[in-house]
Amino acid sequence: GEEVAQTPKHLVRGEGQKAKLYCAPIKGHSYVFWYQQVLKNEFKFLISFQNENVFDETGMPKERFSAKCLPNSPCSLEIQATKLEDSAVYFCASSQPGQESYEQYFGPGTRLTVT
Amino acid sequence: AQSVTQLGSHVSVSEGALVLLRCNYSSSVPPYLFWYVQYPNQGLQLLLKYTSAATLVKGINGFEAEFKKSETSFHLTKPSAHMSDAAEYFCAVNTGRRALTFGSGTRLQVQP
């Protein structure tokens, strides 16, 4: 597609439950990034992929967070045993190889509320 | 390492007035710089980008930004504000395929 698609738009989980978020990058884009936005202004980088391979996972809280990008499937971000502090908007972005600036195109986000 | 500082978390202008949103960056290598806009409950939309081709960059919706290496700045301007410009604006930096590093954002209010 021509836009980054993210599902679901909203997700509510009780503390301790699992949450799974999905992202379909723009067709032809081989880089996928996940960001967490808290308090409406702070963006935290979580993980990036080059095709199905992890490119950079320096921002990933590895104890409870995991992510995958498998061929012919949407990318996913999974949070095991959610905590209240995981409440945030999670954005996915994709970029196209060969672009000088590697500009990233963002999806509409998934708002996760942990109660 | 790279970082972005946006001076002023809130900026208020009158409709028709000049918009100036400030961004200073720090990067150990030549940076790529971006301005994104976020409307309420929406994702980020790319306004413009600096890639070293030209120091004055024009973007969408009448916005432009000037890269000043000596001042490590990339301020965003628009000659005449419109009500529809009210949103949150983020300056960001990266150095290639790496993740973006964002500033803390500036909320622009446009008064009638």
Q: What is the largest CA-CA distance in chain B?
A: 42
* pLDDT recorded at residue B30: 80
Q: Do B43 and A109 touch (CB under 8 A)?
A: yes
Window from A19-28, A39-48, B63-72, B100-109 with minimum mean pLDDT: A39-48
Best B3, B33, B100 residue to mutate vs chain A (most A CBs within 10 Å):
B100
* pLDDT recorded at residue B41: 83
Touching B: A residues 47-76, CB under 8 Å:
48, 50, 55-56, 59
pLDDT at B52 over 80: no
* pLDDT recorded at residue A77: 98
Residue B27: band (very low, low, confident or very high) from pLDDT cuts 50, 70, 90: confident
Residues in B touching A93 (Cβ below 8 Å): 44, 100
* pLDDT recorded at residue B28: 79
From the list B32, B21, B8, B5, the residue with the least C-alpha distance to B97 is: B32
CA distance A78 to chain B (A): 20
* pLDDT recorded at residue B97: 74
Please, are residues B65 and B4 in contact by the beta-carbon 8 Å criterion?
no
* pLDDT recorded at residue A39: 77
- CA gap B64, B76 in Å, rounded: 6
Using the Cβ of A90 and the Cβ atoms of chain B, whether some distance falls under 8 Å is answered with no
Residues in A touching B36 (Cβ below 8 Å): 106
* pLDDT recorded at residue A99: 63
SS (H, E, C) B61-96: HHCEEEEECCCCEEEEEECCCCHHHCEEEEEEEECC
Question: What does pLDDT average to in each consecutive run of 10 residues of chain A (115 residues)?
Answer: 92 97 94 90 92 93 94 95 95 83 89 97
